[in-house]
Amino acid sequence: MPANRNVLAFVMAGGEGSRLHPLTANRCKPAVPFNGKHRIIDFVLSNLVNSEIYSTYLLVQYKSQSLIEHVRQTWTMARFMPQQFITVVPPQMRNGPEWFQGTADAVYQNIHLIESMQPDIVAVFGADHIYRMDVRQMIDFHIKSNAHASVATLPVELRECDQFGIVDVDDNHRIVDFKEKPKSARPMPGSRTHALASMGNYIFNADVLLQQLKRMHDNGETDFGKHILPSMVKSHKLVAYDFATNIIPGTEPYEEHAYWRDVGTIDAYYQAHFDTLGAQPRFRMTNRRWPIYASPDQAESAQIENGVINRSVVGSGSIVDGATLDHAMLRRSVLVERNARLEHCIVMERSRIGRGAQVRRAIIDQDNDVPPEERIGFNLEQDRKRFPVTPNGIVVVPAGYFPVRRAQSPFLAQIDESATLGEESTRMMEMLA
């Protein structure tokens, strides 16, 4: 990216995430945990930092407290470049008593941030996706194309077009039509089965964006996908950036090229976790040349007393005591007791799986104490009477559904102490910083 280009980023992190309920009952979608130690928001922020874009405003709205706390603990820019920032911006209501009415309205309500910083380029990115991307390559493409705005794109199946903004392009990548979540769409050039979809990541020339935001506000419009981009097709040069051309250093040959997942549903969220498992996963979480940063974790190392473990992740502070894990993901401070069995499961922080319990194809949210001999995922008809069950048969146990038992386990005090010490150590590190 040319050194003289001044880039300001807005990350749209206000999503309510209703399709991820009950995981979003008490947190917004970008704050939902992912894999052993991350949250969904970490992917876009890591991509921006790795791309040497250090000036980022994070626009939040719904149930944002856990996201704000995560950013405060994890994304202090002193870790990367003290003079730059990642700043959380809730609705300021500078133009009236209204929350953000749409993605473009969220930026418009903070238009003063653009005007005060006077960037050359403004990147507007979503916060809800699992992927790696070098944003500099998209900016270079934008500049070389002499575009006013660029949209990151990738192919999606025609049957999924109602979930995305769909673009039509000419032979020079110029966008000639943009429809937001159409019921049907024409196939993209060279395909009969796929259309070209927007990833929700945009690059704008700053002066053009300012003009469009003011015009949009005057017309009572609120959204990039529904209003600004479709209206710019005829009046400005919009180009489609091919995400498949993005090259990430350190990517292994066995990984899925241009991996990108919209984890907007429980089924998609669940499947994306298991794309990261194995010796040759579709998406490898550990890439030293393009890391996905996570919250600092001072908990003790995981402990395996004994048991059988197959292709699983065991988070820090967790203990497996004579249990069987098969394609299981344990986040921090999880206890799995003797003779319990987890099969294709995600278990979140501070949960305990009781002795002899059997759980399969399930997500156990945080602070659950699954009773001994409990069975989840074996009789979906019975499970639906207690829990949400997705169309693909994934059972979701809401946070705190099973009250915490205080009956002593050989490892319970150790788990509690590890979790507490980890939280206290994190707070102490923040104070010293």
Known binding-site positions for alpha-D-glucose 1-phosphate: 165, 180-181, 198
pLDDT at 150: 98
Calculate helix-pair angle for 65-74, 412-432, nearest 10 degrees.
70
The residues spanned by each domain of the chain are 7-262, 303-432
How does DSSP classify residue 165? Answer: E
- Residues of the chain above pLDDT 90, percent: 77
CATH number of 7-262: 3.90.550.10
CATH number of 303-432: 2.160.10.10
pLDDT at 300: 86
Known binding-site positions: 165, 180-181, 198
pLDDT at 45: 97
Q: Give the containing element (helix H, strand E) for 122.
A: strand 121-126
- Read off the pTM: 0.91
pLDDT at 409: 56
pLDDT at 90: 80
22 preceded by a cis bond (ω within 30 of 0)? yes
- The ranges of the chain with pLDDT < 50 are 1-4, 97, 420-433
Six token digits for residue 336 = 């799995």
pLDDT at 289: 97
